């Protein structure tokens, strides 16, 4: 009888302990400091308005940029987390066809890519890869109205529309020691666009839909606590 009770107690203790062991990262927060390459497209998908006749055959490309970013991640369980990023990136849009190559059409567009992703993590010993997906809202904080390619047209105002989209993500975290520090690699692909509008006074003279769809590649250090 004593052996039976001892066995039953051992099984009960093991049963109660297993969830705790499986979720020892639950409630943890991970902060990442990253160097991030933002590689957008900027290709014209559709022309809606053209009162000045320059968009026939016109094609464009947004320039790449490298910026610092911060990521904050909350672990709901050991293998599931929610992450958001903070940072801004600035881009020009230049002509690649239909106008002299490099003609500037958008100058210093300052973008805040608000992003939230859900991530599934896999434990491969010292390396912890993950995949994720989520939603993004691209907010254009500022656009310079004096792009060299539109000034001769008398353009007085340039705007880029804020838009929702979605994002896919993959990467890995590698702990360095047992103190919570680590290194991280991350890749995101956004599927999102914007509508560019050029005004002369109050008159809309050009409106184009652009596919941005950037790759966002990051590397840096992390701390989990």
The pLDDT of residue 182 is 95
State what percent of residues in the chain have pLDDT above 70: 90
Look at residue 131 and tell me whether its pLDDT is greater than 80: yes
The pLDDT of residue 18 is 37
**Region 62-76 average pLDDT:** 96
Q: What are the strands, taking DSSP E only, across the chain? A: 29-39, 43-50, 59-62, 65-77, 80-86, 89-97, 104-121, 128-144, 157-160, 163-175, 181-191, 193-200, 203-211, 215-224
Q: Which of 77, 22, 110, 87 has its CA nearest to residue 220?
A: 87
DSSP state of 64: P
Q: What is the mean pLDDT of the chain?
A: 87
On the CB side of 85, CA atoms within 13 Å amount to 29
What domains are defined for the chain?
27-224 (2.40.160.20)
The pLDDT of residue 19 is 40
Residue found by looking up tokens 């020691």 in the block? 177
Look at residue 154 and tell me whether its pLDDT is greater than 80: yes
**Region 89-98 average pLDDT:** 91
């Amino acid at each position: 009888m004593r052996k039976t009770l001892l066995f039953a107690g051992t099984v009960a203790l093991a049963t109660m302990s297993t969830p705790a062991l499986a979720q020892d990262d639950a409630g943890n927060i991970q902060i990442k400091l990253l160097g991030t390459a933002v590689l957008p497209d900027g290709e014209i998908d559709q022309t809606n308005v053209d009162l000045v006749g320059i968009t026939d055959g016109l094609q464009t490309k947004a320039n790449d940029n490298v910026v610092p970013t911060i990521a904050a991640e909350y672990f709901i369980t050991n293998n599931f987390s929610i992450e958001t990023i903070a940072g801004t990136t600035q881009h020009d849009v230049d002509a690649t066809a239909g106008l002299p190559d490099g003609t500037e059409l958008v100058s210093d567009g300052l973008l805040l890519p608000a992003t939230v992703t859900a991530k599934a993590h896999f434990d491969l010993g010292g390396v912890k890869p993950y995949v994720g997906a989520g939603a993004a809202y691209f907010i254009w904080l500022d656009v310079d109205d004096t792009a060299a390619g539109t000034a001769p047209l008398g353009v007085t105002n340039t705007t880029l529309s804020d838009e929702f989209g979605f994002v896919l993500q993959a990467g890995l975290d590698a702990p360095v020691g047992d103190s919570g520090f680590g290194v991280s690699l991350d890749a995101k692909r956004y599927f999102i666009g914007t509508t560019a509008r050029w005004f002369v006074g109050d008159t809309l003279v050009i409106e184009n839909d652009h596919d941005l769809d950037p790759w966002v590649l990051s590397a840096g250090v992390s701390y989990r606590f």
